[in-house]
Structure 1
């Protein structure tokens, strides 16, 4: 199950699909930089991994610029319609926003804006060039990979229920099989419009018209004005020091600060002294996760609507206070009921020969997003806004022109002021947990990036809508580990040795000598390419 870990001296690209990784490699070989390659990878993922991402979704980009030695972030997430309030759903006798269908598509997609802004600021190749691979795969077809087909089977009912999806994934009345060519002509046409028309085509031009006209006709809420008024945001990444490293994450509305809180707590102990495959390790990780998620769920939302005390949450004294709560019950699982949330995401990373580094992540939220495609666009709209609450007391309550609590969180670690580790993963609630696994594996246990990604993983909480407060573990150790965790009070669920539900992580490690190691998750269809 272990992917080979390529090592290079000049460039490295990794993504959850080998064709997207190849698209990025082509851009670098043609003289593009890491920013160009990351956009090409991102666009191509929307074609070859359409159940996870596409032009109808959101994205975050975390970037290190070698010339300025500066780290920056771009928040490519969309807002709710200006006319939409929670009362409108209550008038429909709904207690929550539907998770599928046109009513779940209640935020403007932000990824296209992110592509454009990053390309214009940092790219060196023409915008049009970045679409070549994606359009080729959409028009001529790409083989349906194992992971895509797995989710097609799970979501067949949604696929059959939507004309835009069924026209692509159903042939002669049957669902396409793994290895069949996936041809997406409407999506190819939309990508050509983007290729020639740029950002304006999506937010003010023909694609904005096509999407919003269809949404309104089908009973949804997104208006042309919502697209016209959309803007992403350049942001300053958050940072904590962890041992001799600087760990960076995106600020809210991303949940990235949650893993920074976990690391602050773990600084109070010698993690490396604990057996990585022991019950003690999984117990400790789960307890710091609970403390972090308690504050995440208490505060996280669009920071333009509610003050979030980030400085306090990321302070070392506060971490010591939380650590003391764990020390007071060292062998006892504390109760905490997390929120249920979606998981389908695509993370990728690129480092180029100049030393530029891009860590980025994008998503439709659920598998196949809203499972709604506006007529003749081929674009699956995200259902990210379905995570808004209709509870007026919730920090994440639905309000006009608001960004929702976002699971997406690309990560980057610097050492001596230079990029050392780029990391991220699919997985909703699992994203900060898998990042914690990889971070401790590399920074505390000295693992390679491939070893870190391949270690047995866990997910605590209600991800994938499982009721209860469960700790899910990949079963690659003895039964005594589970028995010890159960004795501590954990509700343990043993999964397969290599479990799809653990998501797909990717990473790039930059060694002291400048060697670049790339890794793709053996649980997915990805590849790392470097030279």
Structure 2
């Protein structure tokens, strides 16, 4: 510049120099914490949270409320969950007993490792597997597999709830039968995933106007379109009256199979009849003296647990949250846990349970920790792209007055699952096959009847036997890194729940280190100087770079809840 004057400076008199104070606007969107001395529920949609809160007011317990909210979520947020999806939960009873319920999906029994023709290049789906011709692994009837959400929810309610199915499902049925005004989130999702839904007659008839345009949310001048799902209401009524058998061995399942097979899919009645809910003790570990209880086996929980056990050997609390050192150590723990996941994990029936036990062990964590250089990123051969994530899952947390806890995650796989609503049922079908590697010969390759390796990670934390945290998230593989950040935010840095679930996060599966743009530039520069391949990501209303966690935290007599600020997530306290 002329006269050597630096940009951003101005001269005052002969000697004083004042730096420019000019800034730029940034996103600063927040929600308040919900507080209660009684019960608390969080859900990803206000109508679902209200359905669960009503159950709590009517004398239901945490499991009743979580199941009510989950059924309602399948009506008001068909992007993420529904009767055609899969589900898991972790439940703590007031006497301290903790159990897990697994309603995982599985490949059809007629599926084979080479059932899809691979493209010569490119990746597809939220897990970034090699692309298949026509994307049939992720979209359409050939992506459909065995579904377990209904079995999981009904099993949880029967074993651990105190209300009957018709009472718990009442709001979900009413929302489907009477309809509700389309909100901005659904209208946006319908536009984003038009190509997935529009080719299917039943899907198009439900979610789009006669003109072909997506149902519209309310504007400042007009009411939103009303989404009425009469076939779905009838399916919900059938399950409320007759239980899960109407799906797995009855007329509802037969209708789904007939429609899928008429369009070239592999799902059979035998697949439904083979379904069974698994109830098992939780994966139990400690983190900094707290008791962490989560899902055992083929889920995202094992990977988050491995990350936490690696980090337990570092004094994170003596660093600042989101400091270069903290983010470096977190990235290195993520990198090692994901490497193990991609190498070893799949359905336990295939790879065995011993590998899961080893990855959760203190000995394995110590060995992995010893390979971390506190000042330098692990060398990477190439900066391979990280697959995109999407809003394809939902999560519910509940803690009731008696200290009962329920952390429940349910999903359709990808956004709107397969895009297929089974004709005459109103049920959106999950793209179960999206969880499998379409290449033969891998640990997670396709096999007939093989259960999925999911990314979900519902968690409970306790202080001794006392409830402390109930948490979980939607967000594909980003769930695992999000849960790591939530736990360290709450435990290592003692953050309040709203801050803990909404703070800037990172995600590192391999070479690229995804960093929220809210992390200051000097911190990103410091990470790059350590050798990280830093990839800044701006989280918006339409993106899901870092998952969408929520949490309920118990402190003394109070329950405080934090939920995502960029979506419709809602927490409601009930005294």
TM-score normalised by the shorter chain: which range applies?
A: over 0.9
1:103 corresponds to: 142
SS of aligned partner of 1:86: coil
Once residues 212 and 498 of structure 1 are traced to their aligned partners in structure 2, the CA distance between those partners, rounded to angstroms, is: 38
Distance 1:338 1:495 in 2: 13
Mapped contact 1:97–1:386 kept (Cα < 8 A): no
How do 1:475-490 residues align onto structure 2 when only pairs under 5 Å count? 475-490=517-532
CA contact (8 A) 1:44 1:134 kept: yes
Aligned-partner SS, 1:14: strand
- SS of the residue corresponding to residue 72 of structure 1 reads strand
Give the counterpart of 1:46 among 57, 66, 74. 74
Q: CA RMSD in A?
A: 2.1
Partners of 2:377 and 2:274 in 1: CA distance: 50
State whether structure 2 residue 478 is matched by structure 1 residue 434: no
Equivalent residue for 1:416, pick from 448, 464, 485: 464
The equivalent of 1:470 in structure 2 is 512
Aligned counterpart, 2:97: 70
Are 2:215 and 1:176 aligned? yes
Whole-Å Cα distance in 2 between the matches of residues 131 and 51 of structure 1? 20
Look up the match of 1:460.
508
Q: Compare the two structures and name the one with the higher helix fraction.
A: 1
1:242 counterpart = 2:287: yes
Match of 1:466 in 2: none
Give the one of 491, 506, 511 matched to 2:550: 506
Other-structure match for 1:493? 535
Match of 1:138 in 2: 176
Cα distance in 1 for partners of 2:467, 2:349 equals: 30
Aligned to 1:282: 327
Contact 2:409 2:456 in 1 (8 A): yes
Q: For residues 525 and 267 of structure 2, what CA distance do their matches in structure 1 show?
A: 50
Q: What does residue range 88-487 of structure 1 map to in structure 2 within 5 Å?
A: 88-89=115-116, 98-105=137-144, 107-173=145-211, 174-179=213-218, 180=224, 181-308=226-353, 309-327=355-373, 330-335=375-380, 340=387, 343=390, 344-461=392-509, 469-487=511-529
Contact 2:334–2:509 at 8 Å: present in 1 too? no
Structure 2: tracts of 5 or more residues without a match: 1-28, 121-131, 219-223
CA distance in 1, matches of 2:118, 2:476: 30
Structure-2 separation of matches of 1:49 and 1:159: 15
Q: 2: distance between equivalents of 1:210 and 1:395?
A: 33
- 1:145 deviates by 2.8
**Aligned partners of 2:107 and 2:432 also within 8 Å:** no
Residues 262 and 88 of structure 1, relative CA distance in 2, 3 Å threshold: closer
Aligned residue for 2:129? none
- Give, in whole Å, the separation in 1 of the partners of 2:47 and 2:513: 34
The one of 77, 83, 93 aligned to 2:110? 83
1:465: which partner in 2?
A: none
Shift in Å at residue 503 of structure 1?
Answer: 2.6
Among candidates 65, 68, 73, match of residue 37 of structure 1: 65
Task: Please tell me whether Structure 1 or Structure 2 has the larger radius of gyration of its CA atoms.
Answer: 2
Change (3 A) 1:321 1:97: farther
SS class of match (2:137): coil
Q: How far has the Cα of 1:149 moved from its partner? A: 2.5
Cα distance between partner residues in 1 of 2:389 and 2:254: 29
TM-score, structure 2 as length reference: 0.87
Contact 1:97–1:387 (Cα < 8 Å) also in 2 = no
Check the 8 A contact 1:97/1:390 in 2, yes or no: no
| Alpha-carbon contact 2:457-2:483 (below 8 Å) kept | no
Q: What's the CA shift for 1:323? A: 0.7
Match of 1:16 in 2: 44
Deviations 1:99-132 (CA, angstroms, capped at 9, x unpaired): 1000111x21101001111111111111111111
Task: Decide whether the 8 Å contact of 1:340 with 1:461 is kept in 2.
Answer: no
Structure 1 match to 2:18: none
Distance 1:228 1:156, change over 3 A: same
- CA contact under 8 A between 1:53 and 1:363: conserved in structure 2? yes
Report which stretch shifted further, 95-104 or 175-184: 95-104
Question: How many equivalent pairs are there?
Answer: 521
Q: Which whole-Å CA distance do the structure 2 matches of 1:447 and 1:91 have between them?
A: 46
Q: Indicate how the Cα distance of structure 1 residues 481 and 333 shifts in structure 2: closer, same or farther if over 3 A, else same.
A: farther
User: Aligned pair in 2 of structure 1 residues 341, 80: CA closer, same or farther (>3 Å)?
Assistant: farther
| CA positional deviation for 1:498 | 5.0
- Partner SS state of residue 431, structure 1: helix
Distance 1:16 1:91 in 2: 35
Distance (Å, rounded) in 2 between the aligned partners of 1:58 and 1:338: 28
Using the alignment, how far apart are the partners of 1:238 and 1:377 within structure 2? 36
1:333, distance to aligned residue in structure 2 (A): 4.1
Matched-pair contact (CA < 8 Å) for 2:87–2:153: no
Deviation sequence 1:308-354 (CA, Å, 0-9, x none): 42222222122111111113x63224428587475411011111111
- Superposed CA offset, 1:111-161 (max 9, x none): 100111111111111111111111111122223233323322211122221
- Quick one: distance in 1 between partners of 2:380 and 2:350? 30
